[in-house]
Amino acid sequence: MAKLTREDLAKIKQDATAAEKNWIKVGYSSCGIAAGAQEIFDVLCEEARKHNADIEIRKCGCVGMCSAEPIVEVCVRGMPRVHYGKVDRETAVKIIEDHVCGRLLVNDHVMDGRI
């Protein structure tokens, strides 16, 4: 990749804000990985593919609620942006089926108001 210039920085920023779409972020620091983030990430990817969901699944660092890992943050246009804590396989499937596809929040896992 060519060397970045100041103009490139501005452009990357602009492009990123313009291309913003629906996304899921999985906490992928030591605390998350230890709690099973890897498996959750795979399940989310697999389910999204199965349901042909229009969603980008990314990794991110530790959001600070280590005792509630694995944590998954979901941003779907027109719905509240939420963190799900203690996500297991079953919840991960529900996140794709209910939240992303069905536009309904999943019960009992939302970590609200902590940050």
Partner 1 sequence: MSRTVFIKDTGTAGKDRTRDFYGFFLGVIREKGLENEVIPVRVADIGLYNQGVAVRVVPDNFVYTRVEESDVSLIVDSIKTGEPYSAKQVKPVSKQLRIVLRNCGVVDPESLEDYIAHDGFAALAKVLESYTPEKVIQEMKASGLRGRGGAGFPTGMKWEFTRKPRSDQKYIVCNGDEGDPGAYMDRGVLEGDPYSVIEGMIIGGYAIGASKGLFYIRAEYPVAIERIEKAIRRCHETGLLGNNILGSSFSFDLEIRLGAGAFVCGEETALIASIEGKRGYPSPRPPFPSVKGLWGRPTCINNVETLANVPVILHKGADWFSKIGTETSKGTKVFAVTGKVKNSGLVEVPMGTTVEDIVYGICGGAMRGKQVKAIQTGGPSGGVIPKEYFGTKVDYESLQKMGSIMGSGGMIVMDEDDCMVDIAKFYLGFCVDESCGKCAPCRIGGTQMLKLLTKVTDGQGTQKDLARLEQISHAMQKASLCGLGQTAPNPVLSTLHYYRAEYDAHVNEKKCPACKCAKLIRFVIVQNKCVKCGMCFKACPVNAISGSRESGYLIDQTKCIRCGQCFEVCKPKAISRS
Beta carbons within 10 angstroms of residue 39's beta carbon: 14
Q: Which of residues 45-74 bind partner 1 (CB under 8 A)?
A: 58-68, 71, 73
H or E stretch at 84: strand 82-84
Residue 14 tokens, joined: 């602009």
- Residue 3 CB, nearest approach to partner 1 (Å): 3
Helices in the chain by DSSP H: which ranges? 6-18, 30-35, 37-50, 89-94
Contact status: 38 vs partner 1 (CB under 8 A): no
Total residues contacting partner 1 by CB under 8 A comes to: 46
Contact status: 113 vs partner 1 (CB under 8 A): yes
| From 24-32, 38-46, 47-55, span contacting partner 1 (CB under 8 A) | 24-32
Beta carbons within 10 angstroms of residue 98's beta carbon: 15
For partner 1, the binding residues (CB under 8 A) are 1-6, 9, 12-13, 16-17, 25, 27-31, 33, 58-68, 71, 73, 79-80, 85-86, 104-105, 107-115
